[in-house]
Structure 1
């Protein structure tokens, strides 16, 4: 699959690097090929290609958004996605690790407003980048779960396939409005790890009792 990444920091690189190892073609979507983030990503994985954002979108099968949330409006509003899947990996984090939109609406729904002709799927936000770098937990038979939310079933199926490649079990939690609850799960993880000193090497799992 041809995958474009808008944003190639810790989260973006972890996902892009692992997906490239699984045989996917990765393009960094950036209008400044000499930016620090592009150079650092290319140094770590020279197989990545780089194209201007709109051109990268045009040539991709699916697009990942892994930017600081406060940049999303300016980045997305002028782009044409032509009904492609846009995977929202961003989180609106406010002061004191609070929800940056006061829990009135999810960040993913705002992303959908700004990227009107994309099919937005929320994913890869409930953990820090450490568990996107390495999703293996060999001491358990269960795989870590990656929860997704979105309004388009075909788009969610695309993301589910990538989850499998990355070593996650997918749990579809519903439509895009459910992203608000996933963003609160993100805040829980971030407060535990970044603020309270818990180690980052843990994930959530989905255990289902058969009745």
Structure 2
């Protein structure tokens, strides 16, 4: 599959790296090919292909959005029309002051992304943990139990595609429902940050789903 990444920081870089190593063709959509984040991503994996945002998004079948939340409109505006009909994986989180929800919990960040690109199949994924868990999701001693990756979106086919990528990366994909459920996933992210960063539990924990 051809996959483009808009944003290759702490979250985007390890996901791009691992997806490429799984056999996907991965593009970095770079306004500045010499930026620190692009150079760090390509130093990590020289097989990542750097293209202009227009070229990367036009060629990709699925696009990952992994920028800071306040940069989404700037990042998406130049490629907005090229996203029509494509899957956009929203990896962003609207984090406000004192680890509050950046949109006052009135609407999810993913729904605001959907409003900006109304003809795109937005799927929320890869947001309920810190970046360390995208670097390494190995948790020994739990048998066949896999860490859960909760996703949300309005298009079932798009969610199935993203779920397949989750599975390939070693996660147990859990479909939580429509894109509006992203608000709850964003609160899960805030909970994870509070526990891991503020309370000092550390980043080495994830959620799992047990079902009878």
TM > 0.5 fold call: yes
Question: For 1:44 and 1:77, how far apart are their aligned partners in 2?
Answer: 28
1:61-210 paired onto structure 2 within 5 Å = 61-78=61-78, 79-80=80-81, 81-141=83-143, 142-209=145-212
Question: For 1:75 and 1:113, how far apart are their aligned partners in 2?
Answer: 15
1:6 and 2:6 matched:
yes
- The corresponding residue for 2:18 is 18
Deviation at 1:59, TM superposition (A): 0.5
Q: What do you get for the CA RMSD once the two structures are aligned?
A: 0.9
- The corresponding residue for 1:57 is 57
Aligned length: 209
SS of residue matched to 1:32 = coil
Question: For 1:29 and 1:49, how far apart are their aligned partners in 2?
Answer: 9
Q: Deviations over 1:134-161 (max 9, x none)?
A: 1121210210110000000111011011
What TM-score comes out, normalization by structure 1 length? Answer: 0.96
Question: For 1:137 and 1:43, how far apart are their aligned partners in 2?
Answer: 27
Segments of structure 2 that go 5 or more residues without pairing to the other structure are none
Structure 2 CA distance for partners of 1:90 and 1:11, relative to 1, 3 Å: same
Deviation at 1:77, TM superposition (A): 3.1
Question: For 2:49 and 2:60, how far apart are their aligned partners in 1?
Answer: 12
Segments of structure 1 that go 5 or more residues without pairing to the other structure are none
Deviation at 1:118, TM superposition (A): 1.1
Which aligned segments of 4 or more residues in structure 1 are displaced greater than 4 angstroms?
none
